[in-house]
Structure formats: C-alpha cells, structure tokens
Amino acid sequence: METTGTGALKPGGRYTLEDYRRWPDDQRWELIYGIAYSMSPAPRLKHQRLLLHFSTQLMMQLKGQPCEPFIAPVDLYPFPEGHGEEKETVVQPDLMIVCDPAKCREEGVFGAPDWILEVLSPSTAYKDQTEKKNLYQKCGVAEYWILNPETLDLMIHRLEGTTYKAPIGTRLDKRVGLTVLPGVFLEG
C-alpha cells in the first residue's frame, strides 16, 4: 500500500537500497534509515521557479571551479561505504553543491555535499525540518538551508564540530552568502 507525503511505503516497513532500486521509475521516493518516504505530489510551480532561479545563480558563480550544483532529482547517498546506514539511505535534496568531484558518479552523489538547500513543500516540510536536518548533520553537510517559498524566510544551519549550532534566521529577498563558499551568494 502506497501513501503520499511523508508516509512510509508500508507502515513499519524497513527497506534497503536494493529495494529502492527495484521500485518503479515513475515514482520518486527517499529512503532515510530504511524508512521510505514518497516524493509525491510533485512540487508546486513557485518551488520549481525558485530552484531554477537559484541553480542558475550558482552555475554562473561556480563556473570554472571544482564545485558543482545539482538540482533534484539527483540521488544523494550521504554515507560512505562501511558506515552501516549507507545501505538504507538515499535522498534527493532540492539543490546541493558538491566540491569534491570524486563524490560525483553517474548514479548520483556519494558522500556529504558541502551545501544543501531544501525548499519547503506542504507534503515534505516536517521531514525537511527534522528527519533530513538530522540526517544532514549526521553525515556532515557543512551548511544546510531551509527556505519557505511563500515568505522567503530562510533558516541556515551550520555545522560546528559534529552538530548544527543554533540556526540563523534571515530572508532571501536580499543577498545571502554561503559560509562554506566565500564569495558565493543567493538572492530571491
């Protein structure tokens, strides 16, 4: 039985990447510590316009650098092999930057990106602010941004040691710099 939003594929079910790779191509799922989350319904147009706008800004600013932006859907396997959770976790961040080309393979990104942006959707907001925030912290994403597309309110989580320090709130209706990439900015 399938459910939409952030519900699990089967209540109480546990899944692996092997299961994930057998699911139909026309369905988008994320797998976090063995729990499957539907990526349906598709994001709203405002969400997609913002992502296109931000990815264009990043492409222009990162041109000629080893850092590369990726926009969903791209599979992120955040844990290195041998970690344990790598066999049951794959997500599709809305937008991410990877500065280590060795992490980029044809199948997706393997290892923690340097920066991630999630644009909140009604069906994924809770997961983005809890499950994914905890996941990104655990796997070592240096900077995690969560954006409300309606208000452009932005919460910035920066890794200090192994934990995110208190988030910084701002708005993306003005220019905001990425701490992990000095000189790189986004503006709504």
- Kind and range of the H or E element at 32? strand 29-32
Residue 9's pLDDT is what? Answer: 53
Confidence of residue 12 (pLDDT cuts 50, 70, 90): low
Under a CB-based contact definition with an 8 Å cutoff, are residues 87 and 17 in contact?
Answer: yes
Closest listed residue to residue 144, CA positions, set 91, 103, 104: 91
Residue 123's pLDDT is what? Answer: 83
Q: Could you give the domains of the chain?
A: 43-186 (3.90.1570.10)
Instruction: Report pLDDT digits (tens) over 101-149.
Output: 999 999 999 999 999 999 999 888 999 999 999 999 999 999 999 999 9
- Kind and range of the H or E element at 56? helix 45-62
pTM listed for this prediction: 0.90
